Amino acid sequence: MMITDLIREDHLAARDLLGVIGNSPQQAHEERADGFARLAALWAIHGNMMTAAVHPVLGATQAWPDPVAATTELQQEVETLAGDLARREDRHDASWRGEYEHLRDTFERQVQVEQTDLIPLLLELPPEQIAKATETARSSRAGG
């Protein structure tokens, strides 16, 4: 599996989690807390992979705004929002829906930049660089 596939798989897995969370009943605090915690953990893994494998091979791009910088900021915001929402659900916060929508919007902006800007830049790299980035991505996901 190539690095671009790993990126897309993370996007799909996170969308699934967000769908489950968004469709949960108002009283399902424990389930939502677990979902937000799982999303925060998945997105931390995704962010580590992007930092280890994608950003170094792309570096700063000539595009404005810089998609690497944009995804780095959005990545941190998604992780922070998911973690905050997990903690709020532990306190049975009834006003989670607005922050959830903000999280979804931020996540979708990040996915948009990764899929329309970063993935095409990755695919323009020489095959040996793509292979090295893929190996680095797998290693970062395995904790190495």
**How many domains does the chain fold into?**
1
144 residues of the chain, pLDDT tens digit each? 899 999 999 999 999 999 999 888 777 788 889 999 999 999 999 999 999 999 888 875 555 567 888 899 999 999 999 999 998 877 777 778 889 999 999 999 999 999 999 999 999 999 999 999 999 999 999 875
The confidence score (pLDDT) of residue 64 equals 53
pLDDT on residue 143: 75
Q: What angle do CA 65, 16, 117 make, to 5 degrees?
A: 20
pLDDT at 51: 93
Cβ(50)–Cβ(71) below 8 Å: yes
Which amino acid is residue 115, in one-letter code? Q
Q: Whole domain around residue 119: which residue ranges?
A: 3-141
